[in-house]
Amino acid sequence: MLFERFMGDRLDRIGPAPTLAAATATSALACFTDYQLTPQRLKPGYEKRLSKPALAVVYGAFAAGLAVGALLTRARDSGRRT
């Protein structure tokens, strides 16, 4: 929600590479929030079951999902405008 809220208008004007960069930054911010700002009792708990490389894959997949979703939404919406 925050990704679209703060980046939505900008994403309408840029291509896939900046969209992926914005999604990656959003995912990194989510990771920082989850593991640095959140109190221990409210943390997701993934770190107890997954290795650090596996956590990197999880947040990488989150970034990829944000980017693909944004790109598909914009492609769909631009097709409706024509």
25 touches 53 (CB < 8 A): no
Model pLDDT, residue 81: 55
Dump pLDDT digits (tens) for 22-69: 899 999 999 999 889 989 888 878 888 899 999 999 999 999 999 998
What is the reported pLDDT for 44? 78
Task: Say what the alpha-carbon torsion angle 42, 44, 46, 52 is, to the nearest 10 degrees.
Answer: -80
Write out the residue range of the structural domain in which residue 60 sits. Answer: 17-39+47-73
- Token representation of residue 41: 């009792």
Q: Give domain status of residue 1, yes or no.
A: no
Q: Is 3 among the domain residues?
A: no
pLDDT for the residue 79: 64
pLDDT of 32 reads 94
Q: Identify whether 65 is part of a domain.
A: yes
Average pLDDT over residues 9-19: 77
Looking at the structure of the chain, the number of domains it has is 1
| Residue 6 belongs to a domain | no
Residue 4 lies in a domain: no
Q: Is the entire prediction scored with pTM above 0.85?
A: no
